[in-house]
Amino acid sequence: MLTDVLISPESGGDGCVNNLLKAVLGAAAIAALAVPASGATIFDTGTPTGPGGYSVFYAGPDAYQGEAARFTLVVPTRITGIEAYFGASAAGNDEVDLTLYAAGTTIPGRPFDTEIARRTVTIPSTGPGGWFGSFYDGPLLAAGDYWVTVTVDPGNPNACFCFLLAGGAPQNIPFGAFNNNFSGNNWIERDLEFGFRVFGDAAAAVPEPASWGLMIAGFGIVGSIARRRRSMVSAWSKGSTWSGA
């Protein structure tokens, strides 16, 4: 004779199981929260409006100039794109480098720290100014400060003689720098107003240990109840009688 108490809708057992399943699925949903939309904007100065700007050029070992901007990542992020707002180049279809660096402790009188990634961009000779850059599956960076430099590679046969980063961006770059070899300077810190923006994806969040614990325990309990039900139904189908009446 079957004397175990079967879980039935009248006893409220299924309601308990349903509530447990809801809690487990809720924990799973929380744990699944991860990245925002792909290619989210991390930093954006807005589009420049001024006709003037900042020159970037290379005309020999003693005649070159570059510009740089610093930005901050508040969480680990995979960089997916870097752009700057250029005017037309002097010669046309010239190439310039956008290089990503880990930020040093100070800028004046010293080069940047470790180079992380470099992309070469071609600037056209005609037409209005525009955003030029590169989108790619870039490196995953820890939270912290980073620099992007706009420079001409003297070893590149397509390096431009001179072009302009248009000025008057709505949001200035409070931590900028320029390199002017005419004055014998390395990178010198200064505010800038050229157009600059960075895109990236925040790294996936790690679920809290409590969420994982709830999911594991909950699935284990639900599985145990399901196995017990199957064994009881099997015994009942073999001739056991219900004694709960």
The one-letter amino acid at 235: A
Structure confidence by residue, pLDDT tens digits, 186-216: 788 888 889 999 999 988 654 545 544 554 5
Q: What is the pLDDT of residue 32?
A: 39
Contacts of 33 (CB under 8 A, 6+ apart): 205
Beta-carbon count within 10 A of 115 CB: 13
Q: Work out the burial of residue 7: count CB atoms within 10 Å of its CB; fewer than 13 is exposed, 13-18 middle, 19 or more buried.
A: middle
Nearest Cα to Cα of residue 6 among 221, 217, 241: 241
Structure confidence by residue, pLDDT tens digits, 15-40: 544 554 454 445 444 443 333 344 79
**CATH classification code of 40-202:** 2.60.120
Query: Are the C-beta atoms of residues 196 and 83 closer than 8 Å to each other?
Result: yes
Q: What is the pLDDT of residue 134?
A: 79
Q: What are the extents of the domains in the chain?
A: 9-33+206-237, 40-202
Q: For the chain, give the mean pLDDT.
A: 70
Structure confidence by residue, pLDDT tens digits, 108-145: 556 666 888 888 888 877 666 789 887 777 789 999 98
Cα torsion 229, 235, 239, 242: sign:
negative
For the whole prediction, is pTM greater than 0.75?
no
